[in-house]
Chains A and B, each alone.
Chain A
Amino acid sequence: MNTDLLILVAIVGLGTWAMRALPLRLPFFSGRPGGAMSRFLAATGPAALAALTAASFLPLATPDVAVLGPTLVGSAAVVGGHFATRDMAAAALVGAVAYGITVWLIGV
């Protein structure tokens, strides 16, 4: 195996594991219930999901109708699927199928 690749993977693998595992052991992150750290972490989950959603949709927001059209239809289908089923798997699947069908229709 390429030595540079091995060193890079070792450093990044260990570092990423440390970033995920070590904060769980740090007293810094376990404040009293209702305290500032508790409120910070309680809001982190929804904020992270919002940020990840924004970052994953931004590359799809282009003036090109062949990309934007399926994105709008797929997103609307996710929202509709969520309110119809309250199930994230079903909502995402409905959205992906709607996206694929729209791509197919535009391609035709």
Chain B
Amino acid sequence: MPRPSSAPPASFRHGARTSLPITLGYFPVGISFGIAASRAGLSVFEATFVSMAIYAGASQFLALTLLTGGAPVIVSALSVLAMNLRHVLYGPAIMEKAGPGAPIRYSWAWAGWLSDGGFGAAYVGLQRPGARFSERWMFGIGMGPYLAWCSGTAVGALVGTGPIEAWPAVDAALGFLMPALFLAMLLSVLSRVHLPAIAAGLLVSLAGTLTVSATFGIVMGMVAGALVGVAGWGQGRDTDRFDLDGGVH
């Protein structure tokens, strides 16, 4: 159980180490956005500004599509914001994991960095035995992926696809890094107590994505899994975790 006040605060450096995989994963995806923005006619400055101000991967691609497609600005903005609705639950879910009394004095600053990957890294970090929450730690969690995303965008807009085109296998491996990270984070929180919520999240997300859209699928998957938690399925087995041989410890 995380201890927000009784132990020395988890450091900024520890947070940065925890989110390092996301930092490494965001850089190539940022490059992809920079390339797309450059092709849409944005300058390096404009592309980087978009990443710095919005910092939400998929919705930035949607913003580009809507903007270059000539959609009205307000309609485009509302569409993109709707895509980011899932972020509403990220902060409260982390604070629930951090435990009662966890500080939020500077949350106005670090919460802006709660992207999908940043949230996942923080949640997985708090899941570890002896994990401690602090706002410094949250700044460490958020800063690396944010800088990687913004600098990746700048590099992508500046350099384009040229250097990587000669190495298709490397390009493919970099493209697989984010799905691989989400799968690895999911495996890190896999336990008997969470299994019903995870199963509901997977199934409803797949159904929602296939029938409506990925955004809809993700939000509905999150809500369905959370409602399974409210129903209490899987409760009372909080210490059960899957082991290598299928047992629990």
Chain A positions within 8 Å of B, measured between CB atoms, are 1-2, 4-5, 7-13, 15-17, 19-21, 23-25, 29-30, 33, 36, 38-58, 60, 70-71, 74-75, 78-79, 81-83, 86, 88-89, 91-93, 95-97, 99-101, 103-104, 107
| Residues of B157-193 contacting chain A, CB below 8 A | 168-170, 172-174, 176-190
CB within 8 Å for A43 and B225 given contacts A5-B46, A99-B180: yes
Kindly report which residue of chain B lies nearest to residue A46, judged by CB atoms. Answer: B194
CB within 8 Å for A78 and B180 given contacts A15-B77, A39-B232: yes
Cross-interface CB contact of B176 among A41, A50, A52, A99, cutoff 8 Å? A99
In the complex, the answer to whether B73 meets A50 with C-beta atoms within 8 Å is no
Chain A residues with Cβ below 8 Å from B143 are none
Separation of A97 and B176 alpha carbons in the complex (Å): 9
B229 to chain A, nearest CB (A): 2
In the complex, the answer to whether A49 meets B189 with C-beta atoms within 8 Å is yes
Chain B residues with Cβ below 8 Å from A38 are 96
Chain B residues with Cβ below 8 Å from A11 are 73-74, 77, 81
Taking chain A's interface residues, is the majority helix, strand, or loop, or is none over half, making it mixed? helix
Q: Is B2 an interface residue (CB 8 A)?
A: no
In the complex, the answer to whether B54 meets A50 with C-beta atoms within 8 Å is no
Kindly report which residue of chain A lies nearest to residue B45, judged by CB atoms. Answer: A1
Chain B positions within 8 Å of A, measured between CB atoms, are 20-21, 24-25, 42, 45-46, 49-50, 53-56, 59, 63, 67, 73-74, 76-77, 80-81, 84-97, 100, 104, 107-108, 111-112, 114, 116, 119-120, 123-124, 168-170, 172-174, 176-190, 194, 197-202, 204-206, 209-210, 214, 217-230, 232, 235, 244
In the complex, the answer to whether A78 meets B20 with C-beta atoms within 8 Å is no
In the complex, the answer to whether A54 meets B85 with C-beta atoms within 8 Å is no
Query: Which of A1, A8, A57 is the most central at the interface, judged by chain B CB atoms within 10 Å of its CB?
Result: A8
Separation of A9 and B124 alpha carbons in the complex (Å): 30
Chain A residues with Cβ below 8 Å from B174 are 96
A24 to chain B, nearest CB (A): 4
Chain A residues with Cβ below 8 Å from B204 are 51
Chain A residues with Cβ below 8 Å from B194 are 43, 46
CB within 8 Å for A92 and B63 given contacts A47-B226, A78-B187, A99-B173: no
Cross-interface CB contact of A54 among B46, B53, B221, cutoff 8 Å? B221
Chain A residues with Cβ below 8 Å from B176 are 60, 70-71, 74, 95-96, 99-100
Chain B residues with Cβ below 8 Å from A7 are 73, 77
In the complex, the answer to whether A12 meets B54 with C-beta atoms within 8 Å is yes
In the complex, the answer to whether B21 meets A20 with C-beta atoms within 8 Å is no
Kindly report which residue of chain B lies nearest to residue A89, judged by CB atoms. Answer: B21
CB within 8 Å for A44 and B205 given contacts A21-B111, A100-B172: no
**Can you sample 18 A-B contacts with CB below 8 Å?**
A12-B56, A16-B54, A19-B84, A20-B114, A45-B119, A46-B190, A48-B120, A52-B120, A54-B202, A78-B187, A79-B187, A89-B21, A91-B180, A91-B183, A91-B187, A92-B181, A96-B174, A103-B169
In the complex, the answer to whether A58 meets B87 with C-beta atoms within 8 Å is no
Query: Which of A40, A47, A60 is the most central at the interface, judged by chain B CB atoms within 10 Å of its CB?
Result: A47
Cross-interface CB contact of B179 among A10, A25, A60, cutoff 8 Å? A60
